[in-house]
Structure 1
Amino acid sequence: MTNSGVNSPTGSDLHLELSGSGSLRSQLMHAVREAVRSGRLPPDTRLPSYRALSADLGIARNTVAEVYSELVEEGWLTARQGSGTRVARRVAPPPPHRRRPRPSSRRPIHDLAPSSPDASAFPRAAWSTSARRAINAAPSEAFGVGDPRGRPELRDALADYLARARGVRVDAELIVICAGYAHALQLLGPLLPSTVAVESYGLAFHRDLIAGAGIRTVPLSIDERGARVGDLSEKSAGAVLLTPAHQYPTGGPLHALRRAAVVDWARTADGLILEDDYDGEFRYDREPIGAVQGLDPDRVIYLGSISKSLSPSLRLGWMVLPDRMIDDVLAVKGRRELWSSAWDQLTLADFISCGSYERHLRRMRGVYRGRRDHLAAALTEHAPHIRVSGIAAGLHAVLELPEGTEHTTLAAARRLGVAVDGLSAYRHPDSTMPHLDGLVVGYGTPAEHAFSSALEALCLALPPAP
């Protein structure tokens, strides 16, 4: 006899395998012991009641009671009035089998890889408060089939915030919620023209997502003023993907004249601008720069997420779309929400509306500014010959290296347990602009107590002064 999952009135579910010879009593004794011994039932796990287990297994209630009683006497279980029958705490299961890690899979000691926030700084208390408030206020239909546009509460909150803080011209009906920036690119892929211009330095992962839709990407050179959008007319592209708030990874905003120029190109060429508002919230030494979308909402798709400002694990992002594209995007996404949970959407809506989001951003600007300053000071002291750029905003800096030293510097960093990126990994394979040697150093990821030691190791990996 084999069975089964128990769904008891006490709320305890238990799967037991009754098999082999002997009485049902002995089979049940063996099954419970094995479940505890293997660690599948850890200490303090509450077991189903006699009635629930006997009903599910088809065993007399007295038999179950006798088994529980004997296992209590043997020390496998405990039974207290009002607490039910539980696995004894002194029964320690053997440790699970662990594969011996290969040397190549060893995690770095110091994580200075870019693009991630400090996970330890997540505002747990404020988020929990918003979650409780949002779930209590949610209408019943919020727990049914999800609307692919996203929860109206979140779209309303975003419309207000983006208009006020980022200069986006938006109505809530023009917002579609998605599971982050990468998901947005996947949804837009089937709707983009056959050729899309991208910045010569950017994430290969994003270029691959576009290419996965059968679209060719062509590189735009970049300089201290951002992407050279004046070259778009030579690229035969129908759309361009930009990071105008803070070019990723080289840093710096798109110059005002180029912002106007790319909008003029889109109007003249009937083109489309994809605006990745990367690091738009984190600025330190400059006035806030509004979104390009505010210059022409009919020509710009504005893309944002909370992966840097809050957490990448929440998988929440948004698209602000031209009105003519709403139906096409929803047709690609499908008839129901399959990606972002309604609970997270409702919580974020409350988190934004009650002001907790902006309070968190202000606090983290101070934290990240301090880390940025700490990085700059460490380099001034230990490697003054290394120029730092791209630090007026964002969560990373670029360390410009002497020509031909990037590969050896990365190898030295790995030996010291430092995770850091080289600029060459971001270069478009078809780019014609000169190669740049450098490191892309993230200062968002390490916990506060680990930051100083991470910088010390980084400085040791840098090439000496010529």
Structure 2
Amino acid sequence: MATDQTNSAAEVLLAPVPGPGPLRQRLERAIVGDIASGRLTPGTALPPSRTLADTLGISRWVVTEAYGHLVGKGVLEARTGSATRVAAVPPGASSVDPVEIRPRQDRPAAPGPGLEHAPGRATHDLAPGVPDLRHVPREAWVRAARDALAEATNQDLGAQPPAGHPAARAAVATHLRRSRVVSGPDAAVVLTRGAADGMSRIAAALAAAGHTHLLVEDPSWAALRDVATGAGLVPVPVPVDDDGIAPEPLRAEAARTGARAALLTPAHQFPLGAALPDDRRAALLDWAREVDGLIIEDDYDAEFRYDRRPVPALQGLDPDRVLLLGSTSKTLAPAFGIGWMVVPPRWRAPVLDVSVRRGPAPGPATLDQLTLARFVADGAYARHLRAARTRYARRRAALLAGLERELPGARIGGIAAGMHVTVDLAGVRVGADADAADAVVVDAAAVVREGAARDLALVDLRRYQATPSARSTVLVVGYGNLADARLPAAVRGLRAAVEAAAG
């Protein structure tokens, strides 16, 4: 059956089915129901994941995961460079149950795990979470891929080990020991399709072991909270202050809910930007030992520290109590789809069991793994990281100087690390009121809307709060994917957006 390439669901109201269950499953039920009712016909293009997420006020990861699951079921079709569409020949009712759709076990998470916006859609990209896509080391990666394929044995081209190819696991382990002071044998490394994939595996293992709750930082990256929810865990928000998560509130929430696992970003808290002090690190590890618990360390951008050497991974202080998550999404690009876990001894068998149940190829393609191994062994990865650190440090300094010039009174938050800062507009003075004694009162959501009208990608802090506050004056401003030449214009555009929102 031919599909109408102009057919679009832009005017079709899509919303999750009300009721219990994970948000992702309820959105899938709604899409399947609309197909069954004829509201969505074969060939219909669904809204881009970002557009639908913004419309519904939910995480983009929820939408991309729902789309990905339905692609795996044959309900939807996805092609590179094209919209996700209703399948030309949708499966019969016997193959898709609109009431209960079970998660896929044989496909990766949907494209771009963890991305909250589509890179490159705004001329001035000030949204966080995306590295500099203009400086992806394409030639070095191609050389590593060519060499890896030439050297691969016949056995390498056969069945894929559930935990990943031994050579790639060894290369990742060596890199992490050197750069992150990680402790453990090569066998502790499990290769994944990214941080969200790794989180889904450990969350499933935790749920199978009887865990029901997961302590999470608030605010934090919503995608991993959603992954935990999808695995059956209940996220328990714990407030974050200027030094990161505090042990006392965490202990209180753990005692209240019975939670014995926590998801943290110790090296560089997202999005507030703190590095967890030594005393809090020690106290959190004491808690994990006391309750026989597990700390999941999201090491998302720890390679990028500009005022001193990066803080070593928490995992190195207690490899039996800390599972480290990492990926190339922030260091190279999300499209590489390669991540890793460093798993404590007692959790290796449960995580491996989850990986085996996901099918014959639970991780990234073997050739991609071998390419990464060669890329690391040849020193190309280390050279890329050094260049990226220099570039981001310079860009961060230029951004802060621009913000001081264009938005006097704005408070900048976060250590000199990563690819984002927070900008609190509560004390800002702009426009006719620049010399006034009182600061302009401006809502971050209004600034985001005014920024979009000026082709400026911005994010309100509320996007990352477990329960969004009624009002916010804080923006999370990224500079990873912002071209240096566009930085002055981007900051001027931000000032214009603030002035318009204040007016």
Contact 1:118 1:446 (8 Å CA) reproduced: yes
Match of 2:460 in 1: 422
Alignment of 1:14-413 (within 5 A): 107-192=121-206, 193-236=211-254, 237-334=259-356, 336-402=360-426, 405-413=443-451
Q: CA deviation at 1:453?
A: 2.4
Report the 3-state secondary structure (helix = DSSP H, G, I; strand = E; otherwise coil) of the residue aligned with 1:197: strand
Which amino acid is the alignment partner of residue 460 of structure 2?
G
Q: CA deviation at 1:111?
A: 1.8
Contact 1:307 1:313 (8 Å CA) reproduced: yes
Match of 1:459 in 2: 495
Contact 1:423 1:436 (8 Å CA) reproduced: yes
Which amino acid is the alignment partner of residue 234 of structure 2?
R
Could you give the per-residue CA deviations for residues 104-136 of structure 1, whole angstroms, max 9, x where no partner exists? x99433221110011110111211121122111
Q: CA deviation at 1:258?
A: 0.5
Which amino acid is the alignment partner of residue 363 of structure 1?
A
Q: CA deviation at 1:436?
A: 5.1
Query: In 1, distance between residues paired with 2:460 and 2:324?
Result: 28
Query: In 2, distance between residues paired with 1:447 and 1:109?
Result: 9
Could you give the per-residue CA deviations for residues 358-397 of structure 1, whole angstroms, max 9, x where no partner exists? 1100001111111101110111111121111114100111
Contact 2:460 2:472 (8 Å CA) reproduced: no
Report the 3-state secondary structure (helix = DSSP H, G, I; strand = E; otherwise coil) of the residue aligned with 2:423: strand
Q: CA deviation at 1:295?
A: 0.9
Contact 1:405 1:463 (8 Å CA) reproduced: no
Segments of 4+ in structure 1 off by > 4 A? 463-466
Contact 2:192 2:362 (8 Å CA) reproduced: no
Contact 1:219 1:430 (8 Å CA) reproduced: no
TM-score by length of 1: 0.74
Query: In 1, distance between residues paired with 2:144 and 2:485?
Result: 29
Which amino acid is the alignment partner of residue 355 of structure 1?
G
Which amino acid is the alignment partner of residue 229 of structure 2?
A
RMSD: 2.3
Report the 3-state secondary structure (helix = DSSP H, G, I; strand = E; otherwise coil) of the residue aligned with 1:408: helix
CA, structure 1 residues 265+286, in 2 after alignment: closer, same or farther (shift >3 Å)? Answer: same
Match of 2:24 in 1: none
Q: CA deviation at 1:345?
A: 0.7
Q: CA deviation at 1:435?
A: 6.8
Match of 1:446 in 2: 482
Q: CA deviation at 1:336?
A: 2.5
Which amino acid is the alignment partner of residue 411 of structure 2?
R
Larger Rg: 1
Match of 1:17 in 2: none
CA, structure 1 residues 435+324, in 2 after alignment: closer, same or farther (shift >3 Å)? Answer: farther
TM-score by length of 2: 0.69
Which amino acid is the alignment partner of residue 189 of structure 1?
A
Report the 3-state secondary structure (helix = DSSP H, G, I; strand = E; otherwise coil) of the residue aligned with 2:266: coil
Report how many residues are paired: 362
CA, structure 1 residues 295+168, in 2 after alignment: closer, same or farther (shift >3 Å)? Answer: same
Contact 2:262 2:294 (8 Å CA) reproduced: yes
Contact 2:199 2:325 (8 Å CA) reproduced: no
CA, structure 1 residues 404+450, in 2 after alignment: closer, same or farther (shift >3 Å)? Answer: closer
Contact 2:420 2:479 (8 Å CA) reproduced: yes
CA, structure 1 residues 242+436, in 2 after alignment: closer, same or farther (shift >3 Å)? Answer: farther
CA, structure 1 residues 251+342, in 2 after alignment: closer, same or farther (shift >3 Å)? Answer: same
Could you give the per-residue CA deviations for residues 251-303 of structure 1, whole angstroms, max 9, x where no partner exists? 02111110111100000111110000121100111332101111110111111
Contact 1:150 1:337 (8 Å CA) reproduced: no
Query: In 1, distance between residues paired with 2:360 and 2:229?
Result: 26
Query: In 1, distance between residues paired with 2:354 and 2:415?
Result: 38
Q: CA deviation at 1:446?
A: 2.5
Q: CA deviation at 1:404?
A: 5.5
Could you give the per-residue CA deviations for residues 67-107 of structure 1, whole angstroms, max 9, x where no partner exists? xxxxxxxxxxxxxxxxxxxxxxxxxxxxxx99xxxxxx994
Which amino acid is the alignment partner of residue 136 of structure 1?
A
